[in-house]
Amino acid sequence: MFLRLFVLGLFAVPPSLAAFEGDIMPGYTANNIRYLGCVNELPSRALPGDSYLNAAMTVEACQNYCNTANYPMSGIMAGQRCYCGHGLSLGSDIAPDGNVKCTTPCGGNSRQRCGSQTHLSVFNSTNFVYATSPPRVNGWNYHTCFMEPSWDAVLENLVATNQLVFFERNDMRIGLCVDECNKRGYSVAGLQAGRECWCGRTIDDRYWSDANDPSCRMTCGTICAGNKAQICGGKEALAVYLKPK
């Protein structure tokens, strides 16, 4: 009996590996995600876009987060830190020695590798399409992206003068927002954070800063929850549409 079990053990089939599990090589592609390689981190960040921390990080979770934030590239460091970008910063390169310095298991899947304390496992989307703010939607014209330097002051001012209405939807898209603002008699529509729609009657320049100015910290780059081809503002910025007079 023991001999039989021993022989069966010798020929046991090892557990199959799912996408991005095991020692994958640069160029490996699955589920529209391509592994680019192990990249050295910089003090100024190899991928300087959005980032977040997730103790249950996986390759797919990080790439999805970056795509949703309108970035084609993702990088994972120390098993749980996800970084996004449009390209690698100057001075950051794919390591010539393969994955030697990217061996930390991902927090959400120990069979996947998520960089290390000094390097990132970097990926990009093979079917990524940049979202945009269309110049005209349902008769409304795109105006600009506004950053909010003082959110409380903006709200207080607009609510006090009865100029603001707000609603949030998990299927938010530009057309839905401008149509709702139009239906309620407003002439200004602002989309924020992918899911929020703000309707107003005027734009008070004392409270808004044009996010197209390079000095602004925030930009409009968040994909609409209901339309991945459109941008619905940013974390602290609104994509503003105006109804023609």
Interatomic CA distance for residues 161 and 216, integer angstroms: 27
Q: Could you tell me how many residues make up the chain? A: 245
pLDDT of residue 34: 96
- Structural Rg of the chain based on CA atoms: 23
Structural domain boundaries in the chain? 19-125, 136-242
Could you tell me how many helices (H) and strands (E) the chain has, helices first? 4, 17
pLDDT of residue 98: 80
Mean pLDDT in consecutive groups of 10 residues from the start of the chain, 245 residues: 44 67 93 95 90 96 91 96 93 88 96 96 92 93 80 48 76 95 91 90 69 63 88 86 92
Contacting residues for 213 by C-beta, under 8 A, at least 6 apart: none
User: For strand 109-113 and strand 165-168, is the pairing parallel, antiparallel, or unpaired?
Assistant: unpaired
